[in-house]
Amino acid sequence: MEVSGLANTPQPPYYAVTFTSIRTDGENGYAEMAERMARLSSDSPGFLGMEHAASDGLSITICYWESLEAIAAWRQHEEHLLAQQKGYEQWYDSFATRVCRVERDNVFSRPK
Amino acid sequence: MEVSGLANTPQPPYYAVTFTSIRTDGENGYAEMAERMARLSSDSPGFLGMEHAASDGLSITICYWESLEAIAAWRQHEEHLLAQQKGYEQWYDSFATRVCRVERDNVFSRPK
């Protein structure tokens, strides 16, 4: 799943969930889960887009959503709940999830 | 300047500015400016923290702020205005800046 570009989000307001994390050592099935969660979230109602980057041990994923209701539904998705549990048990040394209302944005694309 | 860890933010609400970007080819003084902007913003009133990661051509920087007024002041900082201008002229193929109100967060740190 391609998440290395800019998300094509609508006019604000909309919502962003930022997930910033530092992994524990070891793979422990992480990559497979991450791929699965990216696919599942992008298939969820109200999903608007995703941006991801990782370097120097820090991973940042931002998911954009239409509404708090869409975020709540994704948060309670059965497979996502299992992934969250594994995150606490095994995958993450530390993380922060932040639920944000996007008040305004400024998008630039260089003319070709 | 070390920005590869998790930001130690206070209880919500507070504000986040996400800056997601794809560079043009070439250095053109970018790294020096990025370092300078990181230092200047962290010295600005109301700055709460910063998180950064870059991979596969995509860079994500999230700055946290106490208030919209703090964001407005940083946005209008003289050197930052020059950097913004160079960003449009030269450094970025595309970018998105999003000003967000952090409504709630969930922070985890594994017990040592």
Question: What is the C-alpha R_g of chain B?
Answer: 15
What is the DSSP code string of A24-92? PSS-TTHHHHHHHHHHHHHTSTTEEEEEEEEETTEEEEEEEES-HHHHHHHHT-HHHHHHHHHIIIIIE
Rounded to two decimals, the pTM is: 0.95
Spell out which residues of chain A touch residue B88, defining contact as CB-CB under 8 Å.
108
Q: Are A51 and A7 in contact (CB under 8 A)?
A: yes
DSSP E strands in chain B: the ranges are: 14-23, 47-55, 58-65, 92-109
Closest CA to B53 of A19, A55, A98: A55
- Find the mean pLDDT for residues A36-57: 96
CB contact under 8 A, A53 and B56: yes
> pLDDT tens digits, residue range B35-50?
999 999 999 999 999 9
Q: Are A93 and A25 in contact (CB under 8 A)?
A: no
CB contact under 8 A, A102 and B100: yes
The ipTM assigned to this model is 0.94
CB contact under 8 A, B4 and A104: no
Task: Output the average pLDDT for chain A.
Answer: 94
H/E stretch holding A109: strand A92-109
